[in-house]
Structure 1
Amino acid sequence: MLSTLLLAAVLTTGVPDKKPDLKTPYEKGTGNQTATYNEAIDWYTKFDDAYDEVKMIPYGMTDVGQPLHLVVVSTDKDFDPESIHKKNKRVLLIQNGIHPGEPEGIDATMMLARNYLQDTKLRKQLDNVVLAIIPIYNIGGALNRNSYTRTNQNGPESYGFRGNARNYDLNRDYIKADSRNAQTFHAIFHEWDPDIFFDNHTSNGADYQHVMTLIPTQHNKLNPSLASYLTQTMAPALYEEMKKDKFPMVPYMSTVGETPESGTVAFLESPRYSTGYAALHNTIGFMPETHMLKPFDQRVKSTYKLMEHLIETIHRDSEKIATARAKAKQQTVTQQEFALSWELDTTQVEQIPFLGYGAKHKPSEVSGQERLYYDRKSPWSSTIPYYNTFKPTITVQKPVAYIIPQAWHEVIDRLMLNDVKLQRLGRDTTLTLDTYYITDYKTGQHPYEGHYLHSDVQLRTQEMLRQFFKGDYVVYLNQEANRFLMETLEPQATDSYFNWNFFDSILMQKEYFSSYVFEDLAAEILKNNPDLLQRLEEEKKKDPKLAKNARAQLDFVYHNSPHYEYTHMMYPIGRLMQDIKLPL
């Protein structure tokens, strides 16, 4: 006979009160299944219901019309990021499913979060570490489920698609933020200000024995205090612990030649990528890449173990990480020069242990030509060259402030998304400041993630008096966002907003002249400007084509007269180099 209390529970809820089933879809399967988007959200909803230490928070919308969720695991039940940081706790942001065809992080993180609350020993590590989990970042891609698009991958039996609902690769969208996914991610990132960012992936490429490869933030691009901790303490600890777990890691394989024996080059992640973006804000980033040819269950297990060792390390080194990051943030505020472009230093090379397979060739059954294959019956163990040093090729002195005309609202919107401190002019103002003119650039011949990217930008700097208007924006370079500002607003930076086409309208001339009308005016201009006439004659001697082209000679005069629009090729953001009082 039911007790009075149990009967009341049945009458109230319809079923007796009991803990929900927190076994994951992966655990209920055969080791070759991954949770769908709906299964993952349903599971985290149950997880939230089961534990007061868990809170699932819907943030803004994604391109597919579903909200991006953040699941927070906080053992003292504090879910206020500001309060958490004041308590000197470290925040680990784990992101899954940016490429939903690479889903092992989705399943490993569900089990990890649950186990850390259920296991007393593991739970202790969360005394000073808060887990912030994005269950699936690319929701549109996760809903586009299939079994074929990861052509070379060994499981799971079905999975999501790389492109999001607008067919963006979201791991190229961090700095340009074309997608709603990225815009919502920025809100999460800046509200929670993670100390460590962990973005789970699966790799392509050569075959070898390793299940797990790793991309850490490229140390040359990271603030020295953080770089020192990453390279000397954190990364070695992860490598050592994974080796003990029989998942020996190597750096991500970006081979110098056709096969790994030739060596590998560290991945230089610019801010379009997750870890490159995180580095702009003094957050250490990791992009683990499990090997696509390994069975799915091995990939899930290795991802789980790497995250487990990461939490162990953060728990142990909490104060070291806090100190290094605080120092990095302060140095970013006072730093005077910033590197904008990098190249590999081939004189710096180290040897790393590697477990490979014999690379051989045989005739192709398709083409009859010689083809590469890896013979798993011929494993080998040796060392290979690893190139992990980059040096800056362009370094720029920061201005006192950038002055940004309000017309460039797409840029302003992105600065606001990234927690940049902005002020506005209180009245129309003329200022003498440095202005760039774009003298040359290259543009890709094919679209890349919705843009025709520019590169190899050449500049001329001109000090000039310019008119700005009430409401135009002033961005002082005395804030923690300095590096983000330099790498987005300086045109020569790899992922600058100029290179991503946000300023392309300045590249097109708007006013022209009619030759027959301008002829007389051009003659008068040359008559009144003998120096210009001399320059024209010198140019004609150097360039026979110019000497034979009447229109080109008129154009030369036009470009060197007040009639030529000064805004053509003028980068609109001004660089204020002196700290003067502005009407803010």
Structure 2
Amino acid sequence: MLTTLLLAALLATGTPDKTDLKTPYEKGNKNQTATYDEAIDWYRKLDAAYDEVKMVPYGYTDSGRLLHLVIVSTDKDFDPKSIKQKDKRVLLIQNGIHPGEPEGIDATMLLLRDYLQDKSKRKQLDNVVLAVIPVYNIGGALNRNSHTRTNQEGPESYGFRGNARNLDLNRDYLKTDSKNAQAFHLIYRDWDPDVFMDNHTSNGADYQHVMTLIATQHNKLNPTLAGYLQGKMLPSLYEGMKKDKFPMVPYMNTIGETPEKGIIGFMESPRYATGYTALYNTIGFVPETHMLKPFDQRVQSTYKLMEHMISTVSRDAKEIGQLRAKAKQETLTQKTFALDWQLDTTKVEKIPFLGYAAKYKPSEVSGLERLYYDRKAPYATNINYYNTFTPTVTVEKPVAYIVPQAWREVIDRLKLNKVEMRQLKRDTTITLDTYYISDYKTSPRAYEGHYLHSGTKVETRTMPRQFLKGDYVVYLNQEANRFLVEALEPQAVDSYFNWNFFDSILMQKEYFSSYVFEDLAAEILKKNPDLRKQLEERKKQDAEFAKNARAQLDFVYRNSPHYEPTHNMYPVGRLMQDVKLPL
């Protein structure tokens, strides 16, 4: 009776009941996932129940709803600077970037509650702080249905891949078109996580594994961290999952239609989560549970992987901190950076794989041969794994970039990434390296709201240029230097140039009338015999050019002072030597 009265009194005063933290997943049939509102309400309850938990809003998303960060800190310190000073590691867990792949949402709720209630688990949080984004793609989570994940086994209903602007947020890290990504950058730069997990579900081939894993591509990661990742961290995770009867395999990025021919490591550029976090020396993971496994198995395997991640980070907390500090210092003084990569097919390893026999039979739709996997014919084998990439494009890091203030979209994105910038105090002429865009290809169809460029080539000219009071000088002796190189070098795969933020430079604004320019062109050639010689050589080598009067006039025009110097000129200057500037 006394216990009942005490409980009633506690509830009457508003003190939460810590036992009343069952999740929607548990209250249902374990084939249901929490809605966005259910998840946030549950985290509010967790926040109220435990002083070690704090939920913080980090700004509005494209859906008009707030993006939250939930922090679990057992010493009740929620200041990221103070946490770093205590030499604690920060593990950032992100859920629901693709809300049709929701097991991370439910598994993380279970995980946090269990670690707060279980003393043996809780001890692992003595030197690890958990930071959790409960649902990243809120707009997609609100767009709930039961059909868009066509090939997936459960849950009964789920969210949609596109956000409120129909953007795939796992293509938006560097370009940052969404408010979601803007809020993420605030979280990421505030908390500077040591390890990052972004929970997903895979598509593709059928096989026995419930969990597959993408780790930060080790060739892209700083060598100091890559050695630890490959030699110690990944083996711990794989061994732990095997003991828990969830043997893992790398993400099934298959060479052929089926896995037997082998798989290729995932080379993530900074449009992707772990490609972006690698720019700041964070070890990143994308767990990908198998779409054809029951939802409860996918939740369990995600839970187990996060459990092993926490225990590994806790065990190696001091080592990770030391290695990451070393990696940051090495990146700070790094002279050259790789901007593009290719697979090295000469480097291959054998990895264990649990598959199902791939077979073919006539299609009941087309009558033609179709693939199917025979689950009555499981097998165990070793398959080829190609996971070595070599740089194809490198660049020497400048002392500083100078970004004209006119390029507001670029400046705003640099500010979001907390890039240190200074502004010129007066108009000034600066001699520096300037790129001219010599070649590029453009996607014929829109991709994530852009007509993406690729294969960009540049010609470098050292020249004096006029910059204006208020233009931005961005020195590279800062933690964001690798991010800056990948964003501002046009040849980089996900550069701001390739994402179309500088497209206005690609169009001429002035031209000539042929009948007027004829006489002027003749006069230019008389005064410039070398140009005349070049013109005649071109006519000899190119029959079509020789028959095209307009093309020949254009040749003279482009080699005269009348041709506008800003056409194809990339506006961001590269200062290669430290000179005194009016700052």
TM-score range for the pair, normalised by the shorter chain length: over 0.9
Answer yes or no: is 1:583 the counterpart of 2:582.
yes
What is the match of residue 441 of structure 1? 440
Q: Which moved more, 1:131-140 or 1:27-36?
A: 27-36
Answer yes or no: is 1:219 the counterpart of 2:218.
yes
TM-score (norm. length: structure 2): 0.98
TM-score (norm. length: structure 1): 0.98
**Which structure 1 segments of 5+ residues have no match?**
none
What is the match of residue 118 of structure 2? 119
What is the match of residue 366 of structure 1? 365
Superposition pairs of residues 177-576 of structure 1, within 5 angstroms? 177-576=176-575
Find the residue that maps to 1:55 and give its secondary structure: strand
Distance change (3 Å), C-alpha of 1:510 and 1:216: same
The answer to whether the Cα contact below 8 Å between 2:281 and 2:324 also exists between their aligned partners in 1 is yes
Question: Deviation at 1:541?
Answer: 1.1
> What is the CA deviation profile of residues 241-276 of structure 1, one whole-angstrom value per residue up to 9, with x for unaligned ones?
000000000000011111111100000011000000
Question: Deviation at 1:8?
Answer: 10
How far apart, in 2, do the equivalents of 1:493 and 1:94 lie?
A: 28
How far apart, in 2, do the equivalents of 1:264 and 1:429 lie?
A: 54
Distance change (3 Å), C-alpha of 1:562 and 1:351: same
How far apart, in 1, do the equivalents of 2:488 and 2:63 lie?
A: 30
Find the residue that maps to 2:280 and give its secondary structure: coil
Question: Deviation at 1:9?
Answer: 4.7
The answer to whether the Cα contact below 8 Å between 1:238 and 1:306 also exists between their aligned partners in 2 is yes
The answer to whether the Cα contact below 8 Å between 2:347 and 2:387 also exists between their aligned partners in 1 is yes
Find the residue that maps to 1:288 and give its secondary structure: strand
Distance change (3 Å), C-alpha of 1:134 and 1:16: closer
Superposition pairs of residues 11-22 of structure 1, within 5 angstroms? 13=13, 18-19=17-18, 21-22=20-21
* Aligned residue identity for 1:515: S
How far apart, in 1, do the equivalents of 2:15 and 2:480 lie?
A: 53
* Aligned residue identity for 2:257: E
Question: Deviation at 1:153?
Answer: 0.1
Question: Deviation at 1:488?
Answer: 0.7
* Aligned residue identity for 1:314: V
How far apart, in 2, do the equivalents of 1:402 and 1:337 lie?
A: 15
Question: Deviation at 1:518?
Answer: 1.1
> What is the CA deviation profile of residues 471-519 of structure 1, one whole-angstrom value per residue up to 9, with x for unaligned ones?
1011111111111011110011110111000000000000011111111
Find the residue that maps to 1:280 and give its secondary structure: helix
**Which structure 2 segments of 5+ residues have no match?**
none
Question: Deviation at 1:6?
Answer: 6.2
Answer yes or no: is 1:150 the counterpart of 2:149.
yes
Superposition pairs of residues 79-98 of structure 1, within 5 angstroms? 79-98=78-97
The answer to whether the Cα contact below 8 Å between 1:6 and 1:16 also exists between their aligned partners in 2 is no
Structure 1 segments, 4+ long, off by >2 Å, are 5-13, 15-20
Find the residue that maps to 1:361 and give its secondary structure: strand
What is the match of residue 33 of structure 2? 34
The answer to whether the Cα contact below 8 Å between 2:16 and 2:45 also exists between their aligned partners in 1 is no
Question: Deviation at 1:51?
Answer: 0.2
Find the residue that maps to 2:293 and give its secondary structure: coil
How far apart, in 2, do the equivalents of 1:9 and 1:347 lie?
A: 70
What is the match of residue 25 of structure 1? 24
Question: Deviation at 1:12?
Answer: 6.5
* Aligned residue identity for 1:231: Q
**Superposition RMSD in Å:** 1.5
The answer to whether the Cα contact below 8 Å between 1:55 and 1:73 also exists between their aligned partners in 2 is yes
How far apart, in 2, do the equivalents of 1:497 and 1:247 lie?
A: 40
> What is the CA deviation profile of residues 426-477 of structure 1, one whole-angstrom value per residue up to 9, with x for unaligned ones?
1111011110001111001111000011011111110111000111011111
What is the match of residue 160 of structure 1? 159
How far apart, in 2, do the equivalents of 1:110 and 1:47 lie?
A: 9
Percent of residue pairs identical: 76
Equivalenced residue count is 582
Question: Deviation at 1:19?
Answer: 3.9
Distance change (3 Å), C-alpha of 1:115 and 1:213: same
> What is the CA deviation profile of residues 494-553 of structure 1, one whole-angstrom value per residue up to 9, with x for unaligned ones?
101110000000000000111111111111111111111111111111112222111111
The answer to whether the Cα contact below 8 Å between 2:11 and 2:17 also exists between their aligned partners in 1 is no
Find the residue that maps to 1:68 and give its secondary structure: strand
The answer to whether the Cα contact below 8 Å between 2:265 and 2:385 also exists between their aligned partners in 1 is yes
* Aligned residue identity for 2:406: A
Find the residue that maps to 2:379 and give its secondary structure: strand
How far apart, in 1, do the equivalents of 2:470 and 2:399 lie?
A: 19
Distance change (3 Å), C-alpha of 1:74 and 1:57: same
How far apart, in 1, do the equivalents of 2:354 and 2:534 lie?
A: 65
Question: Deviation at 1:109?
Answer: 0.1
How far apart, in 2, do the equivalents of 1:383 and 1:548 lie?
A: 62
